[in-house]
């Protein structure tokens, strides 16, 4: 039974992905609710039916009070069948109706709706550009992905568990009191008006207060995760107290926003107690007065009393449910600031797959300064022939890494274009572009998974033999064989820790190198690929690198100029422009910037001067 209701909606059902998600809260919720439309309609009906059953029970309680005032023997004779039917309904049908309603809410909607939002939100965020991620805390992004789905699920739950039920119950209460005596509806309707005004007051304030509190909690998460992610720096510079103060500022802001939110609930509860007191006195008092005048039966008084006491018990729950609904919608609104942002670097319409036949790369009048007035690349023109090995040299900030990022389309060029085998990379699917490029960078971060999983990123279908051959070529087999994590997993199955923190820089770089060897892409980018290696390992890896380069188009950045001296051509960048290019020997003979940088090297490293 549980499995049937749990599988009524598939949260992973296919859907049309969009680069521009809905920007308003209600459109956002409606868009995510599409797979649940039928279930929502059925749940709303069941909620109304449950409320109707509860009202009917109160009505029949008043009826029982009235019939009990006659002769006991005649009561059973006249009403015995109806009483048995009522008992069977309460024992059999009422639990079945309640169970069906609860199964829809708890087992169909709650787990699956949150899962659907979490899955689709994560899929959307993963499509964002590298630049988008660089402009926010990873912790805050993750927090919003985690917080928003359960908040949306809770909001939907309250709509059917409280809002629909309470509206149906209120309508039923008016009908029952009107059936007993129309005058009893007057104090109830007056109370409903006052209750509605109180709810409006609370809701208009709770939603923004809740959004502010959720935003403050996300800021706390962002700062805490930032400290933990950079724990080595925190410990190395002994900045424990500074990090505490940095976190305390956000924690205190979260406390203040939460205090403001809780003040609203206190005021709401106080107003609710006063209103409920007025409801009981007005409805029950008037019912008693009507009975004293002979204008209402004892059963009508009993039904009116039961209804008001039930409403008194329900109003706190309904108010809390409604404020919870809008508080959760506030959390969703805060989460939308991240998960509903348009894709900043979408694929072009009808973008096809990049086809690399030769590996020719052309940078044409390339401009990019990250939105600043200066810096970056300024009108760079560079043609790389198929299979050519080009080294990029220049001081820090000359534009070398920017050129690499634009080639990978981590950013869209602000001017000019990049063409691979006659295809503008802006017109091809980004994934297809990156599948054709292998890259080893100096800042190598590994996934917090096994060595095997990290290697498989380069080639998911790689065999064990192919993995072993790749790590051998990368001079990594020996240390991988000795790896063991706290759970006892060894070798390729050992987990490497967050960003590969359990490994040394050289070990991480060798695994990254093995991953690129497995990928075997026709275009190879090297950004200080051996910077973290000791001299002995570097010498062995350099031979592997040159073997890898055979038949590939290669662009390599190096501050150790000796590592690119054997390149076919060396391109010297300065302030975003090409100032020199040629062979190592030819550039030295020119006596220009390259020769100066070579002369200024200390121990084979490029100076900043």
- Three-state DSSP at 328 gives helix
Q: Which is more confident, 355 or 594?
A: 355
State the total domains in the chain.
1
- pLDDT mean over 84-100: 89
pLDDT at residue 381, rounded to an integer:
93
Question: pLDDT tens digit string along 462-479?
Answer: 898 999 998 888 888 888
pLDDT at residue 536, rounded to an integer:
60
Q: Report the 10 Å Cβ neighbour count for 487.
A: 8
What's the pLDDT band for 427 if we cut at 50, 70, 90?
Answer: very high
Cα–Cα distance for residue pair 43/2, rounded to 1 Å: 16
pLDDT at residue 609, rounded to an integer:
41
Asked if 130 and 25 touch (Cβ cutoff 8 Å), the reply is: no
Question: pLDDT tens digit string along 490-538?
Answer: 888 999 887 777 888 778 888 888 888 899 899 999 887 666 566 666 6
Whether 314 maps to a domain, the answer reads yes
Whether 87 maps to a domain, the answer reads yes
What's the pLDDT band for 422 if we cut at 50, 70, 90?
Answer: very high
pLDDT at residue 407, rounded to an integer:
93
Buried b (16+ CB within 10 A) or exposed e, 431-458: ebbbebbbbbbbebebeeebbbbbbbbb
Q: Starting at the earlier edge strand, list the strands of the sheet with 423-424.
A: 377-384, 361-368, 415-420, 423-424
- pLDDT mean over 142-163: 85
Asked if 561 and 598 touch (Cβ cutoff 8 Å), the reply is: yes
Q: Which two tokens stand for residue 470?
A: 């790749």
Whether 560 maps to a domain, the answer reads no
pLDDT at residue 409, rounded to an integer:
92
Question: Looking at residue 605, what DSSP letter applies?
Answer: B
Low-confidence winner among 20-34, 95-109, 180-194 (lowest mean pLDDT): 180-194
Cα–Cα distance for residue pair 421/427, rounded to 1 Å: 13
Asked if 574 and 609 touch (Cβ cutoff 8 Å), the reply is: no
Identify the domain containing residue 130 by its residue range: 19-339
What's the pLDDT band for 603 if we cut at 50, 70, 90?
Answer: very low
Question: pLDDT tens digit string along 10-44?
Answer: 999 888 888 888 888 888 888 889 999 999 999 99
pLDDT at residue 604, rounded to an integer:
47
Report the predicted TM-score, pTM, of the whole model to 2 decimal places.
0.75
Name which of 347, 324, 321 is nearest 434 in CA terms.
347
DSSP codes joined into one string, 578-596: EEEEE-HHHHHHHTSHHHH
Asked if 570 and 581 touch (Cβ cutoff 8 Å), the reply is: yes
Whole-number average pLDDT of the chain: 83
Cα–Cα distance for residue pair 283/178, rounded to 1 Å: 12
C-alpha distances in Å from residue 399, one per residue of 42, 128, 366, 380, 383: 60, 23, 11, 10, 16
pLDDT at residue 180, rounded to an integer:
66
Is the pLDDT confidence value at 605 over 50? no
For residues 24, 29, 32, 36, the Cα torsion angle rounded to the nearest 10 degrees is: -150
Asked if 375 and 439 touch (Cβ cutoff 8 Å), the reply is: no
Whether 542 maps to a domain, the answer reads no
Beta bridge partners of 378: 367
pLDDT at residue 272, rounded to an integer:
78
Question: pLDDT tens digit string along 319-348?
Answer: 777 777 877 887 888 888 888 889 888 888
pLDDT at residue 602, rounded to an integer:
46
Whether 456 maps to a domain, the answer reads no
Whether 99 maps to a domain, the answer reads yes
C-alpha distances in Å from residue 32, one per residue of 113, 141, 293, 332, 588: 8, 19, 57, 12, 63
User: Considering the chain, what percentage of its residues have pLDDT values greater than 90?
Assistant: 18
Name which of 476, 475, 434 is nearest 457 in CA terms.
434
What's the pLDDT band for 444 if we cut at 50, 70, 90?
Answer: confident
Cα–Cα distance for residue pair 59/55, rounded to 1 Å: 6
Name which of 104, 113, 114 is nearest 4 in CA terms.
104
Q: Report the 10 Å Cβ neighbour count for 551.
A: 9
- pLDDT mean over 451-461: 89
Name which of 28, 32, 39, 29 is nearest 4 in CA terms.
39
pLDDT at residue 426, rounded to an integer:
92
- pLDDT mean over 270-282: 80
Is the pLDDT confidence value at 424 over 80? yes
DSSP codes joined into one string, 198-226: HHHHHHHHHHHHHHHHHHHHHHHHHHHHH
Question: Residue 117 maps to which CATH number?
Answer: 1.20.1560.10
Residue length of the chain:
609
Whether 380 maps to a domain, the answer reads no
Whether 512 maps to a domain, the answer reads no
């Amino acid at each position: 039974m549980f499995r049937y209701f749990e599988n009524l909606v598939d949260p992973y059902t296919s859907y049309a992905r969009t680069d521009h998600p809905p920007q308003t809260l209600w459109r956002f919720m409606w868009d995510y609710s599409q797979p649940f439309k039928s279930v929502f309609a059925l749940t709303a009906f069941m909620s109304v039916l449950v409320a109707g059953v509860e009202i009917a029970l109160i009505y029949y309680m008043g009826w029982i009070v009235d019939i009990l005032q006659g002769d006991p023997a005649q009561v059973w004779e006249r009403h015995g069948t109806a009483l048995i039917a009522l008992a069977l309904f309460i024992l059999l049908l009422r639990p079945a109706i309640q169970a069906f309603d609860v199964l829809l809410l708890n087992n169909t909607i709650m787990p699956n709706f949150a899962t659907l939002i979490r899955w689709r939100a994560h899929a959307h965020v993963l499509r964002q550009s590298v630049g988008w991620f660089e402009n926010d805390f990873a912790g805050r992004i993750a927090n919003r992905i985690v917080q928003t789905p359960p908040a949306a699920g809770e909001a939907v739950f309250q709509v059917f568990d409280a809002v629909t039920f309470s509206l149906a119950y209120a309508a039923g209460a008016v009908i029952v009191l009107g059936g007993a005596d129309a005058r009893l509806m007057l104090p109830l309707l007056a109370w409903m008006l006052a209750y509605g005004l109180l709810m409006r007051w609370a809701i208009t304030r709770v939603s923004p207060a809740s959004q502010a509190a959720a935003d403050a909690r996300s800021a706390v998460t962002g700062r805490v995760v930032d400290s933990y992610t950079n724990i080595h720096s925190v410990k190395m510079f002994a900045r424990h107290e500074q990090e505490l103060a940095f976190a305390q500022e956000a924690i205190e802001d979260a406390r203040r926003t939460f205090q403001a939110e809780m003040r609203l609930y206190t005021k709401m509860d106080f107003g609710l107690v006063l209103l409920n007191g007025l409801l009981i006195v007005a409805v029950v008092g008037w019912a008693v007065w009507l009975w004293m005048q002979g204008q209402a039966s004892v059963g009508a008084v009993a039904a009116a009393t039961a209804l008001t006491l039930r409403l008194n018990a329900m109003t706190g729950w309904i108010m809390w449910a409604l404020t919870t609904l809008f508080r959760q919608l506030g959390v969703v609104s805060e989460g939308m600031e991240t998960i509903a942002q348009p894709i900043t670097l979408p694929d072009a319409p009808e973008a096809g797959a990049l086809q690399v036949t030769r590996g020719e790369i052309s940078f044409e009048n390339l401009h990019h300064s990250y939105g600043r007035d200066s810096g970056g690349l300024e009108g760079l023109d560079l043609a790389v022939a198929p299979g050519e090995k080009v080294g990029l040299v220049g001081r820090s900030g000359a534009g070398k890494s920017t050129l690499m990022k634009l080639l990978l389309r981590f950013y869209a060029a602000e001017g000019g274009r990049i063409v691979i085998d006659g295809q503008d990379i802006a017109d091809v699917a980004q994934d297809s572009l990156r599948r054709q490029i292998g890259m080893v960078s100096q800042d190598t971060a590994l996934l917090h998974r096994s060595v095997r999983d990290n290697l498989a990123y380069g080639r998911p279908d790689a065999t064990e033999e192919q993995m072993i051959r790749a790590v051998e070529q990368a001079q990594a087999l020996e240390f991988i064989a000795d790896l063991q994590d706290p759970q006892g997993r060894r070798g390729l199955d050992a987990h490497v820790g967050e960003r590969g923190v359990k490994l040394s820089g050289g070990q991480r770089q060798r695994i990254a190198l093995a991953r690129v060897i497995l990928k075997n892409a026709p275009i190879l980018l090297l950004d200080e690929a051996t910077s973290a290696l000791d001299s002995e390992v570097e010498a062995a890896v350099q031979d592997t690198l040159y073997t890898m380069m055979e038949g590939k188009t290669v662009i390599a950045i190096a501050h150790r100029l000796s590592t690119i001296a054997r390149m076919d051509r060396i391109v010297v960048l300065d302030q975003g422009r090409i100032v020199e290019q040629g062979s190592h020997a030819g550039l030295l003979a020119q006596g220009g910037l390259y020769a100066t940088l070579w002369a200024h090297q200390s121990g084979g490293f490029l100076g900043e001067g």
